[in-house]
Chain A
Amino acid sequence: MTPQLAETMRRATEDLYPESSERILDRALIAGSRRRRRRHHLAVGLSSAAVLGVVATSVILVSTGGRAPGREAPFAAASSPAATYAPGSATEVPGGPVIPTDRRIVDDESLQQVIRDLAGNGNLTGLAVEHVTGSGVGRHPADRTTDGRAMSFQVDGGAAWIAIGRWDGYHAVGFEDSGVNAPLQQKVATTAREACGGSYRTFPAITCAPSPEGWYSVTHPNAGGVSGSKELWVDLYTEDGYVVRVHSLNTANEKQGSPVSTRTSISEADSLAIARSPRWFTTR
């Protein structure tokens, strides 16, 4: 260990305390109790299947919002995927399968035009395109590519992002934490449905619905921060290995600013239509 660096870290952080430690503790007791009750009910309800701990990779709240207009069937819960279990390092994994495709993401100028056409019903401002890691929607520690695209903008003052990338390769690999003393279990998605479902069991489960392009999920995370703030994720996983995420808020940024509307800057129906648009891609 480098004593000077250790001392530097200690000195730099010695007077740092969370602003809202009481809120943190209150929330830990409330939300932690809820998870304890759910786990108890799940353990009682299952006969022989092992109860898995909360997965370290995700805490996703199942959408409680309305269905897209015209849909008759409720979301089909993604069944436990036939994923491959393989012990190994969660951060040094070799990566999952590479799904063949004859498509590629269009250039930045075209991306911006697509956004203006699809999401520009209101006052659209601050449009920017970034090249990000290959997934676009997540960042695997071993991923050094910049093939993903992340677009940010505001609609009528509410923030929005659209991310496009790949769910295969590194990003097909998830890991599951079954406890402190257990090795991290590696799980690999091989289909769009598995990738949508997280390729691992989450608690509570992610529910995915089919679309002509693949499988999608709708999530309303707890936006936190300001009272009345709302957040929406629509994630579409295509059969040829792409993932498109449409993420919107009713505030100017995450946990910043007062709500500018009672709903997110992009509606659930519009978010799904944007995710499903073929205009994000061109053939190679």
Chain B
Amino acid sequence: MQVPRRAVREAEFTEFAAARMHQLYRTAWLLCGESQKAEDLVQETLIKVYARWGSRIDNPVAYAQTTLTRTWISQLRRRGDHERPIEHVPDRRAPGENHALRLTLLAALDELGPVDRAVVVLRHLEDGSTAEVAHLLDLSPGAVRKRLVRALDRMRLHLDLTYTELADEGVLP
């Protein structure tokens, strides 16, 4: 008996979403800075991905990443400033050993504007090349590099970035 197309589609998407949920959530969390907004962002991303699931998506992993990033930027435009949390409560569950590290990282990322934040997260957490980040954010590669240098310069007040690493990125001469 032939399995209905819809069932096949749902099964394939479910497998994809389960496999990518963690990575999408990590990126979303670094962009949003709090767990509830990150969950909302991942949910909206997966809704959009499933709405187009099928032959129209050549690379689902890349498509999901692009969709998540652009959805986050568009949500900034739609929701307004009163949506920002007053203080960070990164996780309502037990803190865990990475809690202090997360708070430090969020403090560093909070120094950045939204696009700079996206550049840093996509470049470092997602291992994106300058060209890939430029395509995701519809920037030129030169603009990506300029933003990255500026962002790292701001972040180093919070993070103990080494001289060598900052020099490699062009922050220090």
Binding site for B on A (CB under 8 A): 1-6, 8-21, 24-25, 27-29, 31-33, 35-36, 39, 53-60, 89-92, 130, 132-133, 135-141, 148, 150, 152, 161, 163, 174-175, 177, 179-180, 183-184, 224, 245, 247, 254-255
Chain B, 16-61, CB within 8 A of any chain A CB: 17-18, 21-22, 25-26, 29-30, 35-36, 38-40, 42-44, 46-53, 56-57, 59
Inter-chain residue pair count (beta carbon < 8 A): 199
Binding site for A on B (CB under 8 A): 10, 13-14, 17-18, 21-22, 25-26, 29-30, 35-36, 38-40, 42-44, 46-53, 56-57, 59, 62-63, 66-67, 70-71, 73-74, 76-83, 91-93, 96, 98, 101-102, 105, 113-115, 120-121, 123-125, 127, 137-140, 143, 152, 155, 159, 161-162, 165-166, 168-169
Give min CB distance, A225 to chain B, whole Å: 8
Contacts of A132 in B (CB 8 A): 80-82
Contacts of B36 in A (CB 8 A): 255
- Residues A54 and B48 in contact, CB atoms below 8 Å apart: yes
Measured between alpha carbons, how far is A63 from B135 in the docked complex, in Å?
35
Of A2, A130, A141, A163, which contacts B73 at CB under 8 A? Answer: A141
Contacts of B39 in A (CB 8 A): 18-20, 24
Contacts of B29 in A (CB 8 A): 13, 16
Closest to B169 in A: A2
Of A17, A163, A179, which contacts B22 at CB under 8 A? Answer: A17
Closest to A173 in B: B77
Q: A89-B138, A255-B36 are in contact. Are A9 and B46 (CB under 8 A)?
A: no
Contacts of B59 in A (CB 8 A): 180
- Residues B127 and A19 in contact, CB atoms below 8 Å apart: no
